[in-house]
Chains A and B, each alone.
Chain A
Amino acid sequence: MISKTDSRKFKSINRRELLKLTPVLGLGAFAIPGLQGRLLKAGLGFSDWASSRLFRTGHLAPTFADSDLTPFSRFPINGYDVDDPGVDLDAWTLTVGGAAQKQGDYTLAQIQALPRITQNTRHVCVEGWDVIGRFGGARLADFLQMAGADTTARFVSVECADDYYESIDMATALHPQTLLCYEMYDQPLTREHGAPVRLNIPTKVGYKQAKYLTSLEITNVLPRVGYWEDQGYSRFYGL
């Protein structure tokens, strides 16, 4: 049974129904220059929060057979500045600061004295490409323990010989696949790949895996997050 109305009432029904769509106009806030940046920052922040919730300490990144490896010659060299910042490899030390009982300079030999881990893992660049590489080094977790780091602190930040800087959350720092990497493809790290020590973090995107490390700090506050993060990239970017 069809009910009846007249054209005037029908128009007012239609107007009311149309008005119910006004929430869509809320998206227009993204077009307002003053608000856009703040909204996108909040959106990215929400994504980062969701990322950190998705991160599971015990969940390992997929590992691969040697036959799956991208040949070393085709492993991209992605420096932000120079391929070789001219590190004096003989005099090199990693300076530990912040919330650690044994602050100070650590030599490569001390890092290499920790259990050596090798892993074939996928390296994913924020740009979208990926390669499977073979990495060797000490677990960052073991190193932090050796330095008496307060692992209840929130972040581990690093600085590099080329003025690059980065930081990661403590959960990721303690992940068993997070390495202070000094070998690739069973050879000492070459200069272009970050000699003598770089980060290898299969649970993070490439720009987090800083090269040519010079210092490391355990901290609860980050005056600056990372070279790319401070320009607008995700601060967590876990894979």
Chain B
Amino acid sequence: MATRAIAVEDLKTGEVTAATYEHPWVVRLCHWINAVALFVMIGSGLQIFKAFPSFGAKIPEKDLLQWPKAFALGGWLGGALQWHLTFMWIYIATGLVYLGYQVFSGNYKQVLFVPRDIPGVWPMVRHYFFFGPKPPATEAYNPLQKHAYTSAIGLGVLSVLTGLAVWKPVQLSWLAWLMGGFHWARLWHFLIMWAILAFIFGHLVMVVLHGWNNFVSMLTGWKKDPEYPVN
């Protein structure tokens, strides 16, 4: 992966630090729009779920869980549906622009988890969770990161497909059928939301752990003093 690199000389100290252009503009733009869209989709989705917080029969209705209004967006079912059915288009459009850009620019190689990454997963897991030694970084994303991001993109695609099946169980009946029918599609849609929430949680923890330079790279594209060798 040819990463654009630059050597930055500090004008005061004369110290030279490397910096790499890690996140192209389209990727950054999509990342932040998607962050807002996901916030709205999950918030309004939770409000929609409050209208029938169950996956069983309507009669007798067994509610699964309720949560405070603070964790829901839209105020009532109709309001939440307006948010959900508006931001679904922003969410889908952003996803398509992102995927299209990654494929056509070749930038997907930075993030796509491929078979040759498999051997590197366990050492990273051991490092993160079991105090193992830190494997040397060779590229922008380590194998575990690639796995997480590739999964997150997959979850994004699935969230759209299950959502479409819930929205259009008749016109897209084949899609609903693939998921086991309308009833199951709704359950999958809900479970995928939790999987995405789990990813977001892990993602935010890692952002905090990796510090300021890493965070800034998603804003400006440039990462100062990267952990991996640049040339």
Contacts and interface: CB of A to CB of B under 8 A. Distances in A.
B58 A62 contact: no
Interface string A204-239: 000000000000000000000000100111100011
The binding surface of chain A is classed by DSSP as: mixed
B78 A232 contact: yes
A10 interface: yes
A17 B27 CA distance: 12
Contact of A43 (B85, B177, B182, B220): B85
Interface in A36-93: 39-44, 46-47, 51, 54-56, 59, 61-62, 70, 73-76
Contacts of B78: 228, 231-233
B59 to A, nearest CB: 4
Given A3-B6, A5-B8, A40 B86 contact: yes
Interface string A1-28: 0111111101001110110110110010
Identify the interface centre among B11, B49, B173, B220: most chain A CB within 10 Å of its CB.
Answer: B220
A129 B61 CA distance: 10
Nearest to B36: A27
A79 to B, nearest CB: 14
B32 A74 contact: no
A238 B171 contact: yes
B173 to A, nearest CB: 5
Contact of B86 (A10, A43, A231, A238): A43
B220 to A, nearest CB: 4
Interface stretch (A118-126, A143-151, A162-170, A184-192): A118-126
Contacts of B57: 70, 74, 129, 131
A51 B81 CA distance: 14
Contacts of A203: 170-171
Nearest to A233: B78
Count class of interface residues, chain A: 35 or more
Contact of B220 (A2, A17, A70): A17
B51 A239 contact: no
State the 5 A-B residue pairs at the shortest beta-carbon distance, nearest first: A43-B86, A128-B52, A127-B51, A232-B78, A129-B58
30 contacts: A2-B7, A3-B5, A3-B7, A4-B8, A7-B8, A7-B12, A10-B6, A13-B222, A17-B219, A17-B222, A23-B33, A24-B33, A40-B82, A43-B85, A43-B89, A47-B85, A47-B88, A47-B89, A59-B170, A61-B173, A62-B173, A75-B59, A125-B58, A127-B51, A127-B52, A128-B51, A128-B52, A128-B186, A129-B58, A231-B78
